[in-house]
Amino acid sequence: MSMPLLPVPHRTEDFPGACLPACCQMALAFWGIIESQTRIAARIGHIDGAGTPARNVTRLSIFGLEVRWHEHGTIDDLRQATAAGQVPIVFLHTGELPYWDQDTPHATVVTGVEAGTVYVNDPAFESAPIPVPVGDFQLAWDEFGCQWAAVHRLPNVSAMGQA
Amino acid sequence: MDTTYERLGTLLAKLTPEENWTVLRFAEFLLEQRRVSVDARAARRKVSAWLVRDVGNLLMGGEPEYILGERPVWRVPVVVTHGRRGCATFVDVDTQTGELLITEDTPQKVLADVHAFVASPASN
């Protein structure tokens, strides 16, 4: 039986290189927190030209969310996370993705995993979700050590960390 | 085997000293490569993962170059992918152990090199 996809609101990049702020914006919006990409970029330490050290996504905890950083993840980890209602942000090499024609590091949100397909909200594209064959996804993810972050809400904590 | 050495000896005798030196260096290179336990792709991926995690998610490793020396390394370009695209600096990877040859100051140094690269008007 197929799992429903996480209803993560889709967002596109507001400025060049804003893939990670856009993914953070999607994860926040999923939990009902509305923030601009510019403010998120400042919070996570975005630097023009270089971007953000990816594990800085844990700084989203200031919004009352729990963010767990992982390396060497597996497709099954993503399946379990989405099934548990967590929003995974993954770091990919677009050269391996069939719907990309550029070769660049990139962040996307995973909204679900079914047999043979990973569904992503890709902030570089207007339409979402985009189905990606699991083999292509794995290659794109492997290139950066299968790094990912799981974003979810702490129980009994509202936005901005106020209990 | 003896015949092979004799043939090589005859061949080398026909070369100039400079050509002999080049052949010798090439033989050394081949011997060094046989001792490499980390391939170029693994080195590039290691650098890419480190860049994305600890420096900036818009940076990645480029095509490594094998550098001979007392401690042979893969020299991996740090590729800037947004704005002015190209190589800003390098990170070395030990070819035997796969160890990234970095210190705690390396992220700041890489960022400084990326800033200088992005700010520079020169073409790639």
Answer yes or no: are the C-beta atoms of A64 and A160 closer than 8 Å. yes
Nearest-CB residue to A107 (from B57, B59, B60)? B57
| Cβ contact, residue pair B60, A47, below 8 Å | no
| Cβ contact, residue pair B83, A71, below 8 Å | no
- Please state, in angstroms and rounded to a whole number, the distance separating the CA atoms of residues B102 and A101: 32
pLDDT tens, position by position, B51-81 = 999 999 999 999 999 998 888 899 999 999 9
- Please state, in angstroms and rounded to a whole number, the distance separating the CA atoms of residues B37 and A127: 44
| Cβ contact, residue pair A55, B54, below 8 Å | yes
| Cβ contact, residue pair B111, A50, below 8 Å | yes
pLDDT for residue B124 is more than 50: no
In this complex, is the C-beta atom of A135 within 8 Å of any C-beta atom belonging to chain B?
Answer: no
- Please state, in angstroms and rounded to a whole number, the distance separating the CA atoms of residues B20 and A2: 67
pLDDT at A160: 39
| Cβ contact, residue pair B48, A55, below 8 Å | no
pLDDT for residue B96 is more than 70: yes
pTM score of the predicted model: 0.84
Q: What is the mean pLDDT of chain B?
A: 89
The larger pLDDT score, comparing residue B121 to residue B9, is at: B9
ipTM: 0.89
Furthest-apart CA pair in chain B: how many Å?
A: 60
Q: How many helices (H) and strands (E) does chain B have?
A: 4, 4
- Please state, in angstroms and rounded to a whole number, the distance separating the CA atoms of residues A134 and A117: 5
pLDDT at B44: 96
In this complex, is the C-beta atom of B83 within 8 Å of any C-beta atom belonging to chain A?
Answer: yes
Contacts of B58 in chain A (CB under 8 A): 17, 49-51, 104-105
- Structure token pair of residue B64: 């490594």
pLDDT at B61: 97
pLDDT for residue B98 is more than 60: yes
The domains found in chain A, sorted by start residue, are: 19-161 (3.90.70.10)
- Per cent of chain B over pLDDT 90 is 57
Q: How many residues does chain B have?
A: 124
Q: Which residues of chain A have pLDDT under 70?
A: 1-2, 156-163
Cα distances (angstroms) measured from residue B97 to each of B30, B62, B92, B107, B120: 19, 20, 12, 21, 35
B52, B76, B89, best to mutate vs chain A, most A CBs in 10 Å: B52
Nearest-CB residue to A50 (from B53, B56, B84)? B56
| Cβ contact, residue pair A49, B45, below 8 Å | no
pLDDT for residue B1 is more than 60: no
The mean pLDDT of B96-114, rounded to a whole number, is 95
pLDDT for residue B122 is more than 80: no
Cα Rg of chain A, angstroms: 14
State the pLDDT confidence band at B24, using cuts at 50, 70 and 90.
confident
In this complex, is the C-beta atom of A93 within 8 Å of any C-beta atom belonging to chain B?
Answer: yes
Please classify residue A128 by burial: count the beta carbons closer than 10 Å to its beta carbon, then call 0-12 exposed, 13-18 middle and 19+ buried. Answer: buried
In this complex, is the C-beta atom of B57 within 8 Å of any C-beta atom belonging to chain A?
Answer: yes
pLDDT at B3: 77
Long-range pairs for A42-47: beta carbons < 8 A, 24 or more residues apart: A44/A20, A46/A17, A46/A18, A46/A20, A46/A21, A47/B56, A47/B111
